[in-house]
Each structure stands twice: as structure tokens, then as C-alpha cells.
Structure 1
Amino acid sequence: MSKQFAIKALVAALLSRGVVADGNGLIGWGITMYDPPCAFACRGVISKCTLLCTPKNGVVNHGTHHNPVATPPECFTTDIAFMRTMALCIDTYCPPNGAPSLSKIEDYWYGHLGTGTVGNYKWVPTISYAGALIGAKEDELNGVKFPNTTSADDHTGHQMLRARIFRRYADSSTLPTIKSKQPLNVTSMISASDWKSQYNGMITFETNENGHSTYTVILMLIALFLPVVLSLLRFVPGLTRSKGWSYFNSVLNYPALWGSSHREPVAMVAGGGLVPTRGQAMYITFISILNIVFLTAPYIYLSPQSIFGSREEQDMSVMGCRAGVLAMGNMVAMFVFSSRNSVLLYITDWSHSTFLLLHRWLGYWTIIQTVLHSILLLAYYVEYGDYAAELARLYWIWGIVATVAAVAIWPLSLLIVRQKAYELFYVTHIVLIFVFLIAYYYHIWYRYTYNWGYEIFAFIAFGIWGKDRILRAGQMIYHGWRTAKITAVEGSDGEYIRIDIDGVHSEGVVYLCFPTLALNFWQTHPFSVTSSFARNGSTQQATVATPTGKDSEKHAETEITVASPNQSDTASTSSSPPHEVVSRISIIARTRSGITSRLAARLATAGSELRLPVLIEGPFHSSVSSQLSQCSTLVCIAGGVGITGVLPHLHHFGSPRHGRLYWGMRNTSLKDELAIEVGDLPSSIQVETAIGKRLDVESIIREELASRASDGLVGVVVCGPAGLADEVRKQVTELTRRGATTAPYILIDEAFSW
């Protein structure tokens, strides 16, 4: 009858819950470790006791590396003495310690009796919990008889004292008291001290493990959704147009964290770096504080316990594990902020250059937590464990690979590397990130398989990375295989080149891939779309696109501008059928290192014109137009090729709103090249140029903001060299802080650098 009951319970469990008995998800978020802990503590005391069916001199480990068990699961589920001892222990200690329901105890009985921590319904106990308990009570009342044995040592581990333990259902017990690792051949009692030690250890361990998951999820969600929450402020009626909000931004948001350099690199560390704005620094500081707090606290420690011998031992181990899990939470957020197709870019009004900065800082914390994970657990196994044995295990080896890959990413991602050897950075970045993810996955697999859900973080990261690549490939397929015509900008002495691509109408930011230009044919390079030209038959129509120019992955090289109907190659399109739509984007690129230098070199070899196959990825999101839509006045300050970053905003900013363009350049080549585009600006836009000299930024900002104090919200847009952008940022914030102007404003830096 007991066996039939067990089989029925097994079938019901399999139909309702599947094979694994501990849930799905993460520890504490769908997965339980010791539920109910009172029953797990009973098994923890006697799991290493030898049973009559335990193989003699067995070499197979049926437990884990750190908790080896010589007895196979089927032995635990058939041994009468073991099952009766377990039932008696559960009945003794569970009622006053959580009082789990009978259904939960039975679920534990059929899911964990054979396997221990990780449940599995494969091994069916031959008697039910109720049957085992009845048998144990009978043994307790009537006494037990030891089985016939061939060795006098089979029972030397038993404490043969007739322990008189108070029972809620009987007068006293005449059963022996069993100790861990001793032979268990008859129904026995488990002492309160042994059970309590196991119970405390399991409660402590699972609570801290739950903390690993909980604090990592909290960190990850805050990192991802704090920008969303902060961006909702733009919907507060009248807030962004208020003078108080402009003053707040001038003090706590727009200025560089220290000094006046934000776009220009400073020698903070080896290789240089970029100083975040104060607003960006507040986010970075908050995320850093969360990383530190969640790593160091809170933890619980109960004593006595069976897992750790001291508080110092537990802290070293548990904090090391916490660091490893926190690294994964940082990693997931890091991948989201690096994605070119991140949905957060569409939800918030934050720029992609800001997202890339947050991506870097989350990457730093991923590296820091990974290194701390490795150092703390290395120290733990050297001090308290068997370091030599751990070193030979596959999970440890893959952990070393992941740590080395994470550490190597940092020096190869320094600003000086990104600017001077972009292709090296690009290739090594992708390779090392991929190695890190693979190594992390196998580190978890060889340690836990899929038992505790830590692999989920790797799956999410792979999903984000893969989704972004699939979307980018789809964009290339959508635009198709195109031909780019490269020519030199006349009068620029080779400083600028022009790239025309027919058959494409795009806006925002695009990435171009030239498959035949170099061996690294897979690389794509960023260009900011300023406008796109479209012609319908013999009727010319120019449609102005909205750029961002903020997610260039290297130093400023390129801008995109409209192809003029009066310039070369338009004669060929004028003869197109009346209803055929012909489109084109044209790029003016300043020749620097990297792809532009290769294009210029190939052009010099080819002569006056170079044609290359090109694939187009994008367009990508820009939030600039939405921010400027509420402005009454627009002031654009451009340096050199930066003019192409502000032209589309000026084209959108027609009457009755007013705007002014201040454009500085070294020579007239760009002015001549873009004469038609600048001439086509709305009549309400005033243009002032400075050739061969620097713009007087302080006078411009003082005049514009002081004269617009009563005209509503002023949009200040700067695009050009880093020094120019930092000067505009400095002047507009200092004038507002000093009270020299009270005009409400927003500042937009069309940045073209990492």
C-alpha cells in the first residue's frame, strides 16, 4: 500500500511540476534551496552516514565537489532505516520550526529524499512519509533489533545510550542517537545540537544566496530604469521652460564634474579619459554606491552552524559569491547601454553618447566585481579549502579565463587606444567580450549546471547582443548592396572627402561598411545624417532628416549632408521617369585616422573619383529634434565640419520661430561646398561666419541669452571640435549661475567622440 501511494504521488508530481523539484528562475526568485529547511537539516546530518546498501569502497561521488556523498540516490529511497530516521526527525523538529504543511513535507519526501539539495522525482521512495513515520514510532516504542552483520565494527559509530528525548506523541525514546558519517543500520534519533547546526547553516546560506539574486536584480533594474524615471521630468508642465530649471541644470547637470573639460580628454588616468558632466556623475556615483553597499551588506550569520566555522570564513566566501553575481547584473545593464537599437534610447531623451559613457562605467564595475569574486574565493580556498583540488576543476579554469578576459578589456578600451587604434579596440573588444561570456557560461555550467539560475544572466546578455546584431544585419539587407562614390572636396587640400550614395533615403545616425576596403571587412563606421535628398521624377524635393550625431564610436571623422540638385551627378537623375523616386545621401568626411584615411589614400591612387561597394546600417535614434521642439529660439554654434550637425535643426526651425547660426572655419572650402544648403535655410535664420579665426563664444552666449530673456525657451546647440564644445558649455552655465542672464535654455552638444 505504501509503495502504491508513493507511485501515485510521484505521477501527480511529475504531471504538475516536471522533473526538477525546486522551481525555475533564480534563487529567491522562483527557485528555493531548502524548503522546508527543517527537513533538509535532517538529511544534512545523516546524508554521509553509510547505509547497508552503500557501496563498499565506492569511488563514485553522488553529491557535489564540495559536499561528496558515497551513497547513490536509489539507496536512500530503499533503505528502511534511513527513511524511518528521516521521518522521525521531520516529525520531531519541523512542527516547532516553521510547521510546514503535510503536502510540503510529502513533496520534499518524493522530490529530495534521494538527491538532497537539488530535487528530482526520478527516484521514488519505496515507502511513503506516513508509512515511514508509523514504522519509526513502532521502533521507538518497541525497541529496535540490529540486523545480522559480519563485522563487529558495523555499529561502533552508534551511540548506544537509550536517549530519553521528549516527544509530543510518546513518553520517551529508546532509539540510538546517530552522528554524521557513522553507520546507519537501524532507526535512530538525530540530536538537537546536530540538527540545529545544520538548520542554522542552511537558513544562513539560503538567505544570503537570496540576497545575491535580490540585490543584483535591484541593481540591474535601477541602472536600466533610472534614466527612464529621470526623463519623465520633461513631461512636467512648464518645468523645462522655467528659469529655475535652467539654473538647476547650470549648477548640477550641464557643467563638467570638475574644471571645464568634458569633451576634451584629460590625463586623469594612464591613457587619458573624459570627465563626465555633473548630471552623469550623479548617476555614476549612485550606481557605484549601490555596488559597494550591496557587496558589503546585508548578510546574516547564525551560530553554531555546519557550513562555515567562523564569521570571517563565511564573509570571505559569501562576499566573493556576491561579487560574482553583482558582476552579472552590471554586465546585463552594460550590454543594454551599448546597444545601437536600445529601446531605452526611444523611451528617454538621453543621448547615445551618454549611454556609451554609462556603458563604460557599468563595464568598470563588471570588471571590478569579477576581480573581487576571483580574489576573495581564491583567498577562501587557500585559507579554508583545498586550493589544489579546485585549481584542477573545469569550473575554476573557465573562471580564470573569464577573469583574464574581463581584465584585458580595460587597457584595450582606454581613450587613447580608441582614438589612435580604433580598429584594434573594435576587434579586441568584441573578441574579449565574447570570450568573457562563453567562459562565464561554462564557469556556471561546470559548477552548477542549470540548478540555480545563474546562467540566466549569460542568456540575457547573449540575447541582447544577438538581437542587436540581427537588427543591424536586417537594416543592411533592407538598404541593400549600394555603391559609394568618393571624391575630394575642392579647395580643402585633401582635408575633406565627399561620399555620395544613391538609392538611399535615411536620417539619424547610420553606420557604413566598406567590405572591399580592408581586411577587416566586417567593421561598420559611424556617420551622422544631417539631411537626405530625394527626387521624384523631374521634380526636385529635399527632405531634411533629424540627426543625433551622438553615437560615433571614434573620434570625430564624418558628417552627412544633403546632396545638392545643382551639384555633379544630378543631371543623370533629372532624366528619370516622372514617378520614379531617386534618393541620395552625401557625406562630407574629415580625413583623419582609420577608415577616412584609407578612403583618402585609395582616392589618391584612383584619381579624381573612387567607387566602392557599401552596406548601410541604420538609421538610429535621435532625441535632439524632440528636445528643440519646445524652443522659441535656436542658437547654433558650429566649428568646421560641425556645420553639418546643426543644419537639419535649422531647417526645421522656420518662421515664426527665430534662429541664428555662428559658423567658424579655417578656410572657405566647406563654405563653398555647402553654399546652397546654407542659402536654403529659412529666412528667419541669421548666419554669421568667421573664416580663419576663432569664434568669440563668451560674447555670443552673453548676447544671445541676455537678449532672449523674455522670448521663451532658448535652444543652444554646439557641434564641432571638443574645445569649442567645452567653451560653449562653460560660458552658458557660468553666465546663468552668475545671474548675467535669466533666459531659460537647454544645451545640446552634438558630440562626435567616445
Structure 2
Amino acid sequence: MSRHLAIGALFAAILPRGAIADGYGLIGWGKTMYDPPCTFACRGVISKCPLLCTPKDSAVNHGSHHNPVSTPPECFTSDPAFLRTMALCINTYCPTSDAPALSKIEDYWYSHLGTGSIGNYQYVPVISYTEALIAAREDERKGVQFPNNTSTSIDEHGNHNMLRARIIRRNGDMNTLPTIKSKQPLNVTSVISASDWKLEYNGLLNFETNEKGHSTYTIILMLIALFLPVILSLLRFVPGLKRSKWWSYFNSVLNYPALWGSNHREPVAMIAGGGLVPTRGQSMYIALISVLNIAFLVGPYVYLSPQRTFGSRSEQNMSVMGCRAGALALGNMVAMFVFSSRNNVLLYITGWSHSTFLLLHRWLGYWTIIQTVLHSILLLAYYNKYGDYASELVRLYWIWGIVGTVAAVAIWPFSLLIVRQKAYEFFYFMHIVLIILFLVGYYYHIWYVFEYRWGYEIWAFIAIGIWGKDRIWRAGQMIYHGWRTAKITSVEGSNSEYLRIDIDGVHAEGVVYLCFPTLGLNFWQTHPFSVVSSFARHGSQQATTTKSILQDSEKQAEAEITIASPNQSDTASTSSVPPAEVVSRASIVIRTRTGITSRLAARLAMAGSELRLPVLIEGPYHSNVSSQLSQCTTLVCIAGGVGITGVLPHLHQFGSPRHGRLYWSMRDTALRSGLATEIADLPASIQVEISAGKRLDIESIIREELAGRTGDGLVGIIVCGPAGLADDVRKHATGMTSRGTTRAPYILIDEAFSW
């Protein structure tokens, strides 16, 4: 073995098993396609030429899906004519194009010569690049030429045999080596014409440049979608900003109001299937993501001419834009999955509400669907016009692509607001099924066309990881809380309109998701509720219990938490009396509507005054409202019906020297009686106004609390109740400030859960 070959063998041997020469990651971000492109261009010209060792009529494809090659890797790395021709081509064209270092050429020689675009050090050439070049120059010096009757024959093994060539000496400037012709047998050292090499070189360089663009713009889109909320949330740390009158004016004009009209929580019928109008602040985020999706789709692109890959700019645009749309769909998809997660870390970093992230999740979902559909339509049109549509249609990658596209499109009608409201459990089931079909279809669409060559599968792994991790974490929370028993009773005087759920042995704050395995066929579903933890000290100590009623979040429920600590004097008691057992309890009160709440009410009616059911608990998920209210000197809480439970916890924490006011309206007095203890326990600095059987005059309340204020303290306005009530508070608070009726600094918090 020669010295150069020994070095090459050692170079291949020390690499990790299974290593590839193109790196890891995405194209342009850790992974290269054609580096250096001049070497790949040489091989691209001659890879379709049969060699002496190429099997005759072989059905095995040793190339890629859209670039089939019948010659096996071992043949490329052992055929003298191919090796010498490649070395001669590299030495001729690389110095004047990419000018790669000799080490890079040698790396290409030992990693790509046998396999082409996907590097693999497993296939080591029988001679080194330097040896092949020396042999090629010797053939060039002596010259080889075949008589007119020279031809090839086929031996008994089906291999090509070239008749012996007659070697002649160079005669002046006469080219002594034959020029390669596409798809013609390559039997001796040959040269590649400059025009053929240039066509291949431009095509490869053009293709990889645009592929890098796909990766780059997809990453940019994903990062902006994910981290723009983080950047915007940093404004809350600017000293004095929240207390600024100009900041309140800005929020009243460009952030808090609905994009149009006055409905934000109230569905708008003009949107197909019913929909929610985003606020202006949310709309600016949506507008930016939409502009980026459009801008990155239409360009920029590179087009080099002449080239072999695409025959015209219009042909390239159709293909490359289709691929770009598919890539951008993946960037939207990743952010979409993050925003939908109940364990979304951005909830804690930004302080934004889960409802806001769910609204942005839906809009990212729209763009995922749009880009997926554009990807399918553009490439369908491309293969129908420029390719072989009939053959593509039956390939597995195409079939799985259809599965993913149809699943993505179907998600939209099954997720309309009217479906979520009228048939939540059906929506929940179909959402999971279609998401799984979309992910499976996308994964196999990538795998069957690229396998793990170009990194597109990474996006699938990220999305599956986010989705799977969230569900594993949820299951872990259920296991942590264990198998519990829920006691369901009717709230006295409510005629079963309100139900109380008490779960002993559980301490929870915020929102939890409950699963009742024995309640119905969809035993695996979880439903969100707001809870309060109650503590009772038994034995010789005085019992202290704090209760709170909370609304079922199943229909845009509003809820929060109230936590009471044991009396300090009791806690500090005595060394002589043994400490009593502390039992925790999660108490939940829901309003009976449809779905799970109606089934609970029906089962309770059959059981009598009390119903006990097994329950699994996921959560809790905490609210970030308290941190937003930390700078407020005044708190104004406006509640409707059971929405009182969303504001009571904040009022309990908002004691002297700060003061607050509660405005609470309800249809009847049953709920007021049930919450009499909680109302009586409010700090003395909290004023309470309760109205039964009539609506609150929101305009007068906001005018009194903002326009009638003196001083520069920050006012916190919390609304929790029906959608119409919340929209009225938003309309009057922003309207008075934007019109100049008041300059009092305030923050507006809408305590609501929505999908």
C-alpha cells in the first residue's frame, strides 16, 4: 500500500463509527451539502456514466430519490478510469473556482467519492487523490485514443469490458484524452468540458445557497416568534414605567383595546365559525409574524445561469418557493407547539397569560397550515409541469405528505370557536388525533425522501419532543398526586347550578386539570378548574378553614386561588401540646353547563346529596397576576357571578396601607350566601359593593375610579366574569384614557381562561 493510501486509511479509521463528512444540524447551520462545490460538480457530471464495474440493468438505486445512480459505492472507489478522471477534473477546475486547500480535497476524496452528496468514510478509494492525479497526468502525457471500431462487450458476469486501446503520443496541441459524454460509458481517463462542469457547478451552488436560505429564514422566524414575548416583557422592569401616565395612554391606544370594535372576549359572528378579535397589542405580534412569513416566502433567492438543475427562473421559483414554504411551516410549527404547552416556560418568564399564548398559538397554527398547503400546491404544480407527476404520486414520501397536509387542513374547521364551545370534548379528541397524524405524516414525508441526510427531520424531533414532553410532564403530575377521591355536592340554594368538589390530601394553587376515569367513555380527558387549598388543624387546636368557590374553566371560566395559612397564634403554640395533624384539601366549585359538568350534575342527582368519584389531578398551574399588581396602590375588582372567585384571592392579599374596592353583580343571592365568609374576611381597607339581579354600571364605575382619582398612584383593574362584562370594562377604561378624560396610570387584567 502506498504512503498516500495508508494516510487515507488512517484518516478514515480514526473517525467515529458512522460519522458523516457533512456535519450535523441543518443545511448552512452545521451541515454542508457541497463543500467544496467544485469537487461535487466533477462527480455530478460523470456519476451517471456507466463504469466497467457498473452492474448491467441493476434496479438498485445508490443515489438519492430524485438523483438515482446505478453504480455502487465500491465501484466508484475502485474503478481506475473514474478515479483518474475525477482527480484530473478537480485539479483543473478547483484552483480557479473555490480554491480549496489540499486537505479539504483529500477529505472529500475519502468521504464522498463513493457516495456523492452524502459523505461516508466507510468507502475508501483504492488510491489516493495524489496518486490518481499522477496517473491521470501520465495518461494525458501519453495520450489514449480508440479506433472507430472500438466498442464495449459484456462478459459473462454482465460487466463492461473495453477492448484494448491504442496509446499514442501527444501531437502538438491535440487533446489526447476523450471528453465525457453524458450517460455514456466511462472506460478510460477522460476530461470534462468546461461548459458541462460549469452547468453542474452553478446548479449545485445555486441549490445549496437557496437551501441555506430555507434554514436561515426558518430559524429567524422561529426565534422571533419565541423570543419577541420575552423581549417585550422586559419592559416591565423599567423603573417607573408602569406608573407613567404616558405608558397608560400608550396601552389604552395601542395595546389594551380590541383591534376593531369593542369585542375581545365576546365572539364575533363575522369571523367564520365565530372567533375572538385580538387586542391591538396581540395584533402587532400577529402582524409581524405574518409579514415575516410572507417576506421570507417571496425571497430572497439566488439564481445562477446557466445551470443544470433548473432550466429557467420560473421553474426554479416554483420549486424553491415550494420548498421554502415547507421549511417556514416548520418554524411556525415549533413556536405553535411551545405556545400551546401547559408547561410553557415562557408563561413564567414573560408574565403573559395562558389565554394570550393560546391566541398566538392559533395564529401560528394558521400560518403552519397556510405554508403547508402552499408547499403542497407549488410542488404539485412543479412536478405536473416540469417533472414526472405520475411517478411521484405513488411514492411513499408523497403519500405521507398528503396525510400530513390533509391533517393540518382538517385541524382548522375542527378547532373553530363554535366547535370548542359547543362540543369541547369532540374538539379535544379530534385535535389530538389530527396533531398525531400531522406529525407522523410530516416525519415519514421527510424520511422517505431524504432519510436523515439534510436535517429536516430535526424539526420533527423538536416538535414531537415539545408535544411529548408536555404530556409526559402532565402524566408525572398525576402520578405525583396519586389516585384521589373527589366529593361532589351541590352548593346550597343554587338548585344544583353550582357544584362543589372537595379533594382531601391535595394542596394546589391556581388552575388544575381534573380527570374522572369512571365518569364516561372519554375517561382519558382532563378539564381545567381553578382551586383553593384549605387547611384544617385537628385535635386540640382550633379549626381554621379558608374556602373559595371557583368556576369551571370549561367554557372560558374565570378563576383564581385563595390560600389561608393557619392562625399565627395557633401555629406558634406550645411545646407542651403535641402538634396536631394537618390535612390539606383542594376545594373547587363549578357552574353546571355542558360536557363534564352536566355529567357530574346528573350523577349527583342520581346519587343523592353527595357523590364520590375517583379523580386524577394534573397541575397546579399558577397565575402571575400578583406580580403585576405589586406596584399598585389601589385595586379595583369587577366581578360577575362566579367570576368573584377570580378576584377574591387578590383582594385578600391587598391589605393596608393599600386599599381596594370590589364591585360584584350576580343573578341571585345563592352565591353571595355561599361566599359570605370569604367576603367578611376581606381586609378592612377593601370596600365591597354587591348588586343582585341587575347589571353593574361599568361606565360610572370606571369614571369614578380613574377620572375621579387624585394622586399619582398606580391603579390595578381586574375584571373576571362574563365576556360582555370584561369587554365593557376594557372599552370604558381605554376609551376614557385615550380621550383624555383621565390620565390616571392603570393596568388592566382580564382574569379569564379560554381556548
- Matched with 1:174 is 176
- Per mean C-alpha deviation after superposition, the further-off stretch among 612-621 and 173-182 is 173-182
Question: 1: CA distance between counterparts of 2:739 and 2:660?
Answer: 25
Question: 2: CA distance between counterparts of 1:604 and 1:561?
Answer: 29
In 2 relative to 1, CA 539–455 (structure 1 residues): closer, same or farther, beyond 3 Å?
farther
- Matched with 1:60 is 60
Question: 2: CA distance between counterparts of 1:421 and 1:557?
Answer: 19
Q: Is the 8 A contact 2:446 2:457 kept in 1?
A: yes
Percent sequence identity is: 77
CA displacement 1:18-45 (0-9 Å, x = unmatched)? 4311111111111100000000000111
Give 1:269 shift: 2.6
Map 1:538-553; keep pairs closer than 5 Å.
538-541=541-544, 552=553
Q: Is the 8 A contact 1:561 1:587 kept in 2?
A: no
CA displacement 1:116-142 (0-9 Å, x = unmatched)? 101111111111000011111111111
- Matched with 2:90 is 90
- Per mean C-alpha deviation after superposition, the further-off stretch among 649-658 and 133-142 is 133-142
Give 1:334 shift: 0.5
- Give the one of 428, 437, 446 matched to 1:426: 428
Amino acid at match of 1:107: D
Give 1:542 shift: 5.3
CA displacement 1:410-451 (0-9 Å, x = unmatched)? 100000000000000000101110111111111111111111
Give the aligned length: 733
Give 1:295 shift: 0.9
Q: Structure 2: which 5+ residue stretches go unaligned?
A: 155-159, 567-576
Amino acid at match of 2:405: T
Question: 2: CA distance between counterparts of 1:36 and 1:13?
Answer: 19
- Matched with 1:569 is none
Q: Is the 8 A contact 2:535 2:565 kept in 1?
A: no
- Matched with 1:10 is 9
| SS of residue matched to 1:632 | strand
Amino acid at match of 2:535: A
Give 1:532 shift: 1.9
Q: Structure 1: which 5+ residue stretches go unaligned?
A: 566-575
Q: Is the 8 A contact 2:548 2:562 kept in 1?
A: no
Matched, 1:249 2:248: no
Amino acid at match of 2:430: T
Give 1:581 shift: 1.0
Amino acid at match of 2:293: N
Amino acid at match of 1:691: A
Map 1:398-547; keep pairs closer than 5 Å.
398-529=400-531, 531-537=532-538, 538-541=541-544
Question: 1: CA distance between counterparts of 2:677 and 2:514?
Answer: 26
Question: 1: CA distance between counterparts of 2:175 and 2:549?
Answer: 84
Give 1:466 shift: 1.6
| SS of residue matched to 1:16 | coil
Map 1:331-346; keep pairs closer than 5 Å.
331-346=333-348
- Matched with 1:652 is 653
Q: Is the 8 A contact 1:47 1:180 kept in 2?
A: no
Map 1:665-684; keep pairs closer than 5 Å.
665-684=666-685
- Matched with 1:573 is none
Give 1:677 shift: 0.5
In 2 relative to 1, CA 401–7 (structure 1 residues): closer, same or farther, beyond 3 Å?
farther
- Give the one of 187, 190, 194 matched to 1:188: 190
Give 1:709 shift: 4.3
Give 1:292 shift: 0.7
Q: Is the 8 A contact 1:533 1:544 kept in 2?
A: yes
- Matched with 2:321 is 319
Amino acid at match of 2:134: I
Q: Is the 8 A contact 2:4 2:131 kept in 1?
A: no
Q: Is the 8 A contact 1:219 1:287 kept in 2?
A: yes
| SS of residue matched to 2:524 | coil
- Matched with 1:259 is 261
Amino acid at match of 1:694: R
- Matched with 2:569 is none
Give 1:186 shift: 1.2
- Matched with 1:279 is 281
In 2 relative to 1, CA 703–469 (structure 1 residues): closer, same or farther, beyond 3 Å?
same
Matched, 1:603 2:608: no
TM-score, structure 2 as length reference: 0.93
| SS of residue matched to 1:611 | strand
Question: 2: CA distance between counterparts of 1:172 and 1:130?
Answer: 25
Q: Is the 8 A contact 1:507 1:545 kept in 2?
A: no
Q: Is the 8 A contact 2:259 2:277 kept in 1?
A: yes
In 2 relative to 1, CA 564–208 (structure 1 residues): closer, same or farther, beyond 3 Å?
closer
Amino acid at match of 1:63: G
Amino acid at match of 1:9: G
Question: 1: CA distance between counterparts of 2:559 and 2:247?
Answer: 34
CA displacement 1:289-322 (0-9 Å, x = unmatched)? 1111111101000011011111111111111111
| SS of residue matched to 2:684 | coil
Amino acid at match of 2:728: E
Give 1:285 shift: 0.5
| SS of residue matched to 1:493 | coil
Q: Is the 8 A contact 1:558 1:589 kept in 2?
A: no
Matched, 1:309 2:311: yes
Q: Is the 8 A contact 1:715 1:746 kept in 2?
A: yes
CA displacement 1:310-364 (0-9 Å, x = unmatched)? 1111111111111111111111111100111111111001100000001111111
The runs of at least 4 aligned residues of structure 1 exceeding 6 Å deviation read 152-156, 162-165, 543-547, 557-565
Question: 2: CA distance between counterparts of 1:735 and 1:705?
Answer: 8
CA displacement 1:508-565 (0-9 Å, x = unmatched)? 1111111111111111110123x32112333444579999x9x956433877667999
- Matched with 2:100 is 100
Give 1:609 shift: 1.1
Let me know the Cα RMSD of the aligned residues: 2.6
CA displacement 1:441-496 (0-9 Å, x = unmatched)? 11111111111111111111111112111211121122221111111112222221
| SS of residue matched to 2:144 | coil
- Matched with 2:44 is 44
- Give the one of 366, 373, 391 matched to 1:389: 391
Amino acid at match of 2:717: V
Give 1:375 shift: 0.6
In 2 relative to 1, CA 503–144 (structure 1 residues): closer, same or farther, beyond 3 Å?
same
Q: Is the 8 A contact 1:155 1:183 kept in 2?
A: no
Q: Is the 8 A contact 2:549 2:588 kept in 1?
A: no
Give 1:191 shift: 0.8
| SS of residue matched to 1:182 | coil
Question: 2: CA distance between counterparts of 1:552 and 1:218?
Answer: 35
Question: 2: CA distance between counterparts of 1:182 and 1:543?
Answer: 88
| SS of residue matched to 2:647 | helix
CA displacement 1:28-71 (0-9 Å, x = unmatched)? 11110000000000011111111111122222221123111121
| SS of residue matched to 1:341 | coil
Question: 2: CA distance between counterparts of 1:369 and 1:490?
Answer: 53
Amino acid at match of 2:274: G
Question: 2: CA distance between counterparts of 1:419 and 1:200?
Answer: 55
Map 1:540-619; keep pairs closer than 5 Å.
540-541=543-544, 552=553, 554-556=555-557, 578-619=579-620
In 2 relative to 1, CA 163–636 (structure 1 residues): closer, same or farther, beyond 3 Å?
farther
Map 1:119-134; keep pairs closer than 5 Å.
119-134=119-134
